[in-house]
Every structure is written in C-alpha cells, then in structure tokens.
Amino acid sequence: MQKRIYGIETEYGIIFTPEGRKTLPVEKAIRFLFEKLITTEHFLNVFLENGARFYQDTGCHPEYATPECASPGQLIIFDKAGERILEDLQLYAEEKIREERIGGRLSIFKNNTDFVGNSYGCHENYLVDRDVDFYYLAEQLIPFLVTRQIYTGAGKVFQTQDGIHYCVSQRAQHIYQKISGTTTNDRSIINTRDEPHADREKYRRLHVIVGDSNMSEYTNFIKVGTCSVVLQMIEDNYINKDFTLRNPVKAIKDITYDATCKRRLRLDNGREYSPIEIQREYCEMAQKYIEQYPVTDDHKKAVYMWQHVLDCLDTDPDKLDRQIDWVIKRRLIQSWVDKHKTTWTDPRVLMLDLQYHDIRRERSLYYLLERKGQVERLFNDEEIDAAKSNPPQDTRARMRGEFIKLARENSIQYDLDWSNIRLGNLLNVRVICNNPFETDTEKVAELVRTIQKTNLRKTSLSKLVIQS
C-alpha cells in the first residue's frame, strides 16, 4: 500500500507515592485523570478533539491511542501530543488529590515495565490490504521485528540473581510466542486480532505488540518508518531472501542482553547472522526498493536514518547518544555513576532508569536532556501542541475531531467509536465511516447542519421567552 493508515496505542505506568499514612488507590488517581474529560461518553473511555482515544486499559493503565495518521512523521507528532495531553490531565489530578487532603506525588511514566515485573505495551497498528496473506506477511516481518530492537529499544536496567544487566529492550523480556491472539498473558511479536476499524472486505489491521514505548522522537520515527518500508516491500513481493529464525522468541531475548548487537543468531537454513547483519540486509533491499518504487518522503528519510544508525551500531553505538533511546539512557546513567563515583548496583540507578520516562517535562530526565539540547529532535513544540486539539486533516480522524468539537459546543448528546458516530437523545442517528482515508462525507456535513439548525431554534425560542 502506497497510502497507509498508522496508529500507536501507548499504555502508561502510574504510581502514587504517599507522604503520610493516608494513601490513594491507583484506581482513584486514574478516575481523577479522566474527570476533566467527562462527556456524554463512557467515563473511562473518551474520544478527544484531536480524534484520539483515551481510556483505562487492563491493569489500571491509562492508555492513549493516536488518531488515524497518514504518515510516520504525523504519527510521531500525535503520539507526542498524547504525552502532553496526559501531562495536562496529571496537573488537574494532582489538584484534585490536594483537595482530598492527601499528601504525596503522582507520577506517570511512558515505559513498559514496573518494579515487580509487570509489563504494559506500546502497540503499533498498520492498515494492510485484505488481499495480502496475513500469515505470509507475518512470517516475512518477524525476523525484522525481532532484530530491530537494536535501534528501537528503550533500554532497561534489570536486576537479576546474576547481578545488574542493562538490556536493549524493555518489552523483549515479556514475549513468549511468534503470533497469538492475546496481548496480556502469552504475548507475541504479532497479534492476530482482526479489528480493522474499517471495511473488513478491503482492509486488515496489522497489530504489532513487540515494540517499546519511546521518548526519543528520532527512535520512534525510525521504528515506524522502517517497519512501513518493509511492509511495502513484502506487499510488492520484493523481499527475495529468507531470514526465518530458528527460534525467534529465544532470539529476541538473546539480542536484548547483548548491547554490542553482534551476538550470532541461527536461521532455519542453518546460517548464522548478527542482528546488525540481518538489519543491513533489509536496509540494503530498502535502499534499492525506494529507487525503483514510488515511496513517500518519510520512507526515504527513514531509510537514510536506518543506514546511519546501523553504521554507528557496527562501529561505536555511543555515537547514537543523541538519537536512540537505549544509548541515550545508558550514557546518562554512566555519566551519573562516574560523577558520583559509584557503580551500576547503586539502588538509585533504578530510579534514574524510571525517571528517564517521566512524562512531566519538569521531572523527566529525557526532557532535561532535551532542554539542554543533548538529544536530537525531528519536530517542534508548536507542531505537537497543535496536535493536542486538532485532528489530522487527511484521514477519517478529521471528521471525528471536528464533530466532537461541534457537539460539545452545542451540548449535543453523542456516542462514537472509530467507525461510527451516533447522536440524539436516543443515539438513534448514526453515521458509518468505514473508509479511514475519507476526510469528509455528506452525511457528516448534514449532521453539522442539523446541529446548527437545532441550536438556532433553541436560541430563537430562548429570545422569544425572554421577550414575553
């Protein structure tokens, strides 16, 4: 597909640290987060004016799902906007907590693991043609997804019986299958959930649940951009090499423990490659592909960045200490360890690891580096702030976002999901939006006119009553 819809679902970790005997259950903290968003919709499941969805997921995690986006770059902007929206809600929740006379600190983290070993996800969604054989696509994609963590990992300090390990990926430890239908217990690399939120006869949703949540715009962009290029190559039958791993689940764990990114992996054909070598093979194919096939500027940019990152990983990973999350964080922790003349076994190292992912910009170690100009940015604050309240203009999200604004302004009762808009006192007026590429429909335009007429009649009647 030359045109594709992209989405990211990010589950956030949330902690309340009390300062006295009185504490606050996480469930109540989450309700405070949602309280500011109360509408006619379900209390813990809200669509926002930028077209995104914000809801409580399994395990008391606030989750932000981006609106439908038409490019990797747009997707990263709206993913970052989710951080800013949640940061605003956190400030509101903290005020409500103070009103309850509860002393303590509420923290929200964009990471994938907590201190007791639980994992929560960052799920990528890619719209694919229904005509493409799903299992063929998945098998072709798995070697790429297993090895891409060398530049998409968020990094993690793991404390085990053998001591402290710094791992490339947070999510890799919690993957147990290649392909499955669950996202919680037996987590897989690719999920089989067939919910396209679009015309089922035309489209399917590829649900990738193996990725880490990224703070770095650079890391997040290359994660989505390279995957999109590989997807397009698979759809065009361009990949002519077999990188099927003999044991992909074992391989994904082996890779994460090797910060050199050069541990050999055995393929089904008996050959052995390092993660860098497998990624180079994909990257070289992509370089030839973008010269022969029509691709977007974002795809060209992603392939250029891909080559740069692999060159650095092959020679000196520390060269990526402004770009790739796991390298940025490792440098940060090592600098702290050196400055304080301590070791990685210092308990404070675990807190540094966590604080890197804090979404509050005044507390986050990542954003401290950003303020100091020590990490590379791809987008600016103006673009991200605009995405907090304005939907993408080139996907179905535009209709949803603009309808929500209008309905709230006019106190119209409504309910909606990704593909449907329902309104009226009985929610019996329905508009179906099955085409995710569509930005406007006559049905939605008619809804707008109906709302405006209704509001005008209410205004006229109010004036009449006043005059009487």
Query: Strand pairing of 177-180 and 188-191?
Result: parallel
Instruction: Determine contact, residues 350/297, Cβ cutoff 8 Å.
Output: no
- Kindly tell me if the per-residue pLDDT of 448 is higher than 80: no
Tokens of 39: 């509408």
Q: What is the pLDDT of residue 463?
A: 37
Q: How far is 421 from 444, CA to CA, in rounded Å?
A: 9
What is the per-residue pLDDT across 388-437, written as a single tens digit (0 to 9) for each?
Answer: 999 999 999 999 998 888 888 877 788 889 999 887 766 677 788 899 99
Question: 1.10.3470, 3.20.20, 1.20.1250, 3.30.590: which CATH number matches 6-386?
Answer: 3.30.590
Does the annotation mark 212 as catalytic? no
From 57, 79, 212, 321, active-site residue: 57
3-state secondary structure of 61: strand
Q: How far is 460 from 468, CA to CA, in rounded Å?
A: 12
pTM of the predicted model, to two decimals? 0.93
Q: Which residue in the block uniquely carries the two structure tokens 């007026």?
A: 429
Instruction: Determine contact, residues 440/399, Cβ cutoff 8 Å.
Output: yes
Residues in the chain: 468
- The DSSP 8-state label assigned to residue 145 in this structure reads H
Nearest to 390 by CA among 93, 77, 63: 77
What is the per-residue pLDDT across 75-124, written as a single tens digit (0 to 9) for each?
Answer: 999 999 999 999 999 999 999 999 999 999 999 999 999 877 788 989 99
User: What values do phi and psi take at 378, rounded to 5?
Assistant: -110, -20
CA atoms 393, 394, 397, 402: torsion sign: positive
Ranges of each domain in the chain: 6-386, 397-467
Q: Which residues pair with 164 in a beta bridge?
A: 159
- pLDDT bin (cut points 50, 70, 90) of residue 440 is confident
Instruction: Determine contact, residues 318/331, Cβ cutoff 8 Å.
Output: yes
Q: How far is 85 from 446, CA to CA, in rounded Å?
A: 31
Nearest to 167 by CA among 342, 364, 333, 302: 333
Q: Which residues pair with 190 in a beta bridge?
A: 179, 208
**Cα-to-chain-centroid distance, residue 15:** 20
